[in-house]
Structure 1
Amino acid sequence: MLVRKTFLSSAILLLSLSLVIVLSGCSSQGDAAASETKLKIKIADINTNPTFRVALEQGYFAKHGIDAELVDFGTPAEGVNSLFIKQVDVAFGADFPLLNAVAKGEYSIIASAGLATDESASEWKLFVRDDIQNPEDLKGKKLSFMRGTFLPYLWDEYLKEHHVSLDDVELIGQGAFDEAYIALKQGDLDAAWFVGSALIDKFVGLEGVHELTDMSQTTVRLGSGIVTSDEFLKNNPEGIENFLAAVDEAAVYAASHAEEVADLMYKEVKQPKEATLKDLPKNIWEVGFTQAAYDSLANQKKYMVDTGLIENDFDLNSKLNLEPLKIALPEKVTYQK
Structure 2
Amino acid sequence: MKLVMKAALGAAVVLASWTGLAAAQTKINIGCTATTDCASAAVALEDGIFKKNGLDATMTLIGLNSNIPAALLSDSVQIGGPTPSVFLQAVDGGLDLVAVAGASSTSKTTFDTAGVVASPASGIKEPKDFVGKKVGAPGIGAFLQVLFSKWLIDNGVDPKQVNFVEVTFPTMNDTLKSGAVDAVVTAEPMMSRIIASGTGAVAGYYLEKLPERRPAILYASTRAWADANPDAVKAFRASIEEAAKIVNENPEKGRQAIANFTKIPMDVLSKMKLSVSDPKIEQEQLDWWVTTMNEQNMLQGKPDTAALIQK
TM superposition score category, shorter chain reference: 0.7 to 0.9
- Aligned to 1:192, which of 166, 184, 188? 184
Where does residue 30 of structure 1 map in the other structure? Answer: 17
| Percent of aligned positions that are identical | 18
The answer to whether the aligner puts 1:171 opposite 2:164 as a matched pair is yes
Q: Determine the C-alpha separation between the residues in 2 that align with 1:228 and 1:242.
A: 14
Indicate how the Cα distance of structure 1 residues 275 and 80 shifts in structure 2: closer, same or farther if over 3 A, else same.
Answer: farther
Q: Determine the C-alpha separation between the residues in 2 that align with 1:204 and 1:170.
A: 26
Where does residue 109 of structure 1 map in the other structure? Answer: 99
- Aligned to 1:296, which of 269, 285, 288? 285
The answer to whether the aligner puts 1:255 opposite 2:280 as a matched pair is no
CA contact (8 A) 2:130 2:162 kept: yes
Using the size of structure 1 for normalisation, the TM-score is: 0.80
Q: Which has the higher helix share?
A: 1
Which has the higher Rg, Structure 1 or Structure 2?
1
Q: Determine the C-alpha separation between the residues in 2 that align with 1:75 and 1:161.
A: 26
Q: Determine the C-alpha separation between the residues in 2 that align with 1:184 and 1:319.
A: 37
- Aligned to 1:214, which of 185, 205, 211? 205
Deviates more, 1:264-273 or 1:311-320: 264-273
Within a 5 Å distance, the mapping from 1:240-251 to structure 2 comes to 240-251=233-244
Q: Determine the C-alpha separation between the residues in 2 that align with 1:53 and 1:151.
A: 21
Q: After the TM superposition, which parts of structure 1 deviate over 6 Å for at least 4 consecutive aligned residues?
A: none
CA contact (8 A) 2:115 2:204 kept: yes
The number of equivalent residue pairs is: 303
Q: Determine the C-alpha separation between the residues in 1 that align with 2:128 and 2:294.
A: 27
Deviates more, 1:125-134 or 1:60-69: 125-134
Which residue identity does 1:273 align to in structure 2?
Answer: M
CA contact (8 A) 1:196 1:279 kept: yes
Where does residue 138 of structure 1 map in the other structure? Answer: 130
CA contact (8 A) 1:123 1:196 kept: yes
The answer to whether the aligner puts 1:272 opposite 2:261 as a matched pair is no
CA positional deviation for 1:113: 2.9
Within a 5 Å distance, the mapping from 1:1-337 to structure 2 comes to 14-48=1-35, 49-103=38-92, 104-130=94-120, 131-147=123-139, 148-174=141-167, 176-204=168-196, 206=198, 209-219=200-210, 222-223=214-215, 224-280=217-273, 282-289=274-281, 293-305=282-294, 307-321=296-310, 323=311
Give the number of the structure with larger relative contact order, counting CA–CA contacts within 8 Å between residues 6 or more apart. Answer: 2
CA contact (8 A) 2:170 2:190 kept: no
Gaps (5+ residues) in structure 2?
A: none
CA contact (8 A) 2:147 2:207 kept: no
- Show CA shifts across 1:55-90 (max 9, x none): 122221111111112122124443344112211111
Provide the aligned C-alpha RMSD in A. 2.5
